[in-house]
């Protein structure tokens, strides 16, 4: 495993919705995003995963962290969000070795579009 194959990437995602988003619905969609990303990394030559983290907050008072340390294990969840909200800020951070940055960025952008589209439809 070569140090030159490491990728560190951070993406900021701001989701807004014309209807209230339920915290369980949001968590379900973030877990789907994480699972699709883990599957993508696994299928595309990820040699080692540092982490995948989604840190979300609605107003800086509440937060939810979804963390993946191994593509073969389920994500861990910490924190809590308010019951419903119409806007949420999420930071996605990933460190991995083996899959090039361009491919990961393309997959992340695709999944961001999917989740934005889901929550932007009323």
Residue 1 forms part of a structural domain: no
Residue 120 forms part of a structural domain: no
pLDDT of residue 2 exceeding 50: no
Residue 93 forms part of a structural domain: yes
CA–CA distance, 51 with 98 (Å, rounded to integer)? 13
CA–CA distance, 53 with 72 (Å, rounded to integer)? 15
CATH of the domain at 90: 3.30.1220
pLDDT of residue 122 exceeding 70: no
Residue 121 forms part of a structural domain: no
In the chain, how many domains are there? Answer: 1
* Domain of 37, in residue numbers: 7-115
- Lookup: tokens for 8: 């560190």
pLDDT of residue 62 exceeding 50: yes
**Mean pLDDT of the residues in the chain:** 92
In contact, 38 and 52? CB cutoff 8 Å:
yes
In contact, 69 and 2? CB cutoff 8 Å:
no
Residue 59: the pLDDT is 81
Residue 104 forms part of a structural domain: yes
Residue 80 forms part of a structural domain: yes
Residue 66 burial class via C-beta count within 10 angstroms: exposed 0-12, middle 13-18, buried 19 and up: buried
For the stretch 15-61, pLDDT in tens is 999 999 999 999 999 999 999 999 999 999 999 999 999 999 998 78
């Amino acid at each position: 495993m070569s140090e030159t194959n490491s990728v560190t990437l951070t993406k900021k995602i701001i989701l807004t919705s014309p209807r209230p988003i339920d915290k369980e619905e949001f968590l379900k969609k973030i877990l789907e995003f994480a699972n699709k990303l883990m599957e993508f990394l696994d299928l595309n030559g990820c040699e080692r995963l540092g982490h995948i983290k989604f840190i979300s907050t609605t107003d800086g008072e509440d937060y939810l962290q979804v963390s993946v340390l191994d593509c073969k294990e389920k994500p861990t969840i910490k924190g809590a969000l308010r019951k419903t909200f119409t806007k949420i800020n999420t930071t996605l951070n990933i460190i991995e070795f083996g899959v090039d940055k361009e491919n990961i960025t393309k997959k992340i952008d695709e999944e961001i579009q999917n989740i934005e589209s889901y929550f932007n439809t009323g």
